[in-house]
Amino acid sequence: MKSIVIQQPNRLDIETRSLPEPAVGEVRVKVKLAGICGSDSHIYRGHNPFAKYPRVIGHEFFGLIDAVGEGVSAARLGERVAVDPVISCGHCYPCSVGKPNVCTSLVVLGVHRDGGFSEYAVVPERNAWTVPDAIPDADAVMIEPFTIAANVTGQVNPTPRDVALVYGAGPMGLTTIQVLKGVYNVGQVIVVDRIEERLEMARQSGADMVINNLNQPLAAVLEAQGIRPTLIVDAACHPSILQEAVLLASPAARVVLMGFSSEPSSITQQSITGKEISIFSSRLNAKKFPVVIDWLSRGLISPAKLVTHTFAYQHVTDAIELFENNQRQCCKVLLTFNE
């Protein structure tokens, strides 16, 4: 089989590997589609501190079960599955409180263990979630990015009364906007980015108002309209944003952070406590695959709005470079693995 392997930073090979056999409790997935994410590019470029090389990247993937290991029912052969990249131990403290996404021995497919940019991948059976036939392949491959938004929104129970502010209209901001509007019916979703084309995508994903903060300060625009967000999601993730978000927030607002910057943010206790702001963070997803599959079945989200390009896996280098260099035209880029 062919696998996309990052041998070391900045060296990507399409390697021929022997077909892996599923171990006890595992299934082998014949991959059909995979999505390129910022973290794949970070591993490729050597910017992911968790990555070990060589590594088959890819943690957003969909395919068919074509072999099962010991202890797995043969009835699963042929199932269409989306794969949860989060592998957890099931018994540590975070696992015991429903947060396997921060398991003390967390393994993420495509980061700590070989992932889905490959013609075949072996994964634990319980990570392979059955996708109903009514959900098309191109939506199924987008389940993982929407689980991130499910996790973010699941921290804060959005309501129709909320005035939400989403920083960043990249793939993560857009999935979050769709969930805030389509699932939670949030009354007003405001989106801020510095790229006009991305703000247009935000509108198409349901944003009620978009603000370009390249040439105008966000604070002034919101103040002029008397808007005080009650729910803020930082899907842009610059360390300076937390301070601004807390300043702009309504009293009693919730703020969700998604970033992994190691740069400090500068913020006072008073700015948080004076309004009793709740600050949440969100990493990966905690058992959100069935949640997103349900949303797709009910037509509450529209993944196709995010997909701008599709490449055959043989052109993965072109696909990643386009993804990295063209934020105006590119959002989600998919790879096909049909031979």
Instruction: Choose one: 30-38, 215-223, 283-291, 321-329; the region binding Mn ion (CB under 5 A).
Output: 30-38
Instruction: Select from ligand NAI, Mn ion, Zn ion, none the partner in contact with residue 116, using the beta carbon and a kind-dependent cut-off of 5 to 8 Å.
Output: none
SS3 content of the chain, % helix, strand, coil (to 5): 30, 25, 45
Q: Does 89 bind Zn ion (CB under 5 A)?
A: yes
CA distances from 209 to 21, 61, 301, 331 (A): 50, 32, 19, 20
Contact partner at residue 92 from ligand NAI, Zn ion, Mn ion, none, CB < 5 to 8 Å by partner kind: Zn ion
- Pick from 17, 99, 194, 275 the residue near ligand NAI by CB under 6 A: 194
Q: 38 touches which of Mn ion, Zn ion, ligand NAI, none (CB within 5 to 8 A by kind)?
A: ligand NAI
What residues does 2 pair with on adjacent strands? 16
Residue closer to ligand NAI, measured from CB, 194 or 309: 194
**Angstrom distance (rounded) from CA 132 to CA 297:** 8
How many chain residues interact with Zn ion (CB under 5 A)? 5
Min CB(29)–ligand NAI separation in Å:
22
Q: Among residues 26 and 144, whose Cβ is nearest to Mn ion?
A: 144
Number of residues lying near ligand NAI (CB under 6 A): 27
Q: From CA 249, how far away is CA 163, in angstroms rounded? A: 10
Q: Distance (Å, rounded) from C-alpha 283 to C-alpha 21?
A: 30
> Is residue 75 within a helix (H) or strand (E), and if so which, with residue range?
none
The residue at minimum Cβ distance from Mn ion is: 37
Q: Hey, what are 157's tokens?
A: 């129970």
Provide the 3-class DSSP secondary structure of residue 211.
Answer: strand
Residue 307 half-sphere exposure toward CB, CA atoms < 13 A: 20
Among 148, 190, 249, 306, the residue binding ligand NAI under the rule CB under 6 A is: 148
**Smallest Cα–Cα separation from 336: which of 148, 128, 137, 175?**
137
Considering only residues 184 to 203 of the shown chain, the ones binding Mn ion according to CB under 5 A are none
Q: Does 37 bind Mn ion (CB under 5 A)?
A: yes
Instruction: Report whether 22 contacts 128 (CB < 8 A).
Output: no
Between 34 and 253, CB nearer to Mn ion: 34
Structure tokens at 52: 């070990």
Among 99, 112, 228, 283, binds ligand NAI (CB under 6 A): 283
CB-hemisphere CA count at 13 Å for 227? 24
Among 142, 235, 246, 296, binds ligand NAI (CB under 6 A): 235
Helices (H), ranges, 190-234: 196-204, 218-224
Residues 195-224 that bind ligand NAI (CB under 6 A): 195, 198, 213
Specify whether the CB–CB gap between 324 and 41 falls below 8 A: yes
Residue 279 lies near ligand NAI (rule: CB under 6 A): no
Q: Shortest Cβ contact with Zn ion: which residue? A: 103
Residue from 29, 33, 56, 95 binding Zn ion (CB under 5 A) = 95
| CB burial of residue 68 (10 Å; 0-12, 13-18, 19+) | buried
Residue 17 binding ligand NAI, by CB under 6 A: no
Tell me the angle at which helices 143-154 and 171-182 cross, rounded to the nearest 10 degrees.
60
Site string for Zn ion, 98-137 (x = CB under 5 A): -----x----------------------------------
Q: Considering only residues 112, 238, 275, 309, which one is a binding residue for ligand NAI as defined by CB under 6 A? A: 238
Residues that bind Zn ion (CB under 5 A): 88-89, 92, 95, 103
Residues that bind ligand NAI (CB under 6 A): 38, 148, 167-173, 192-195, 198, 213, 235-238, 241, 258-260, 282-284, 327
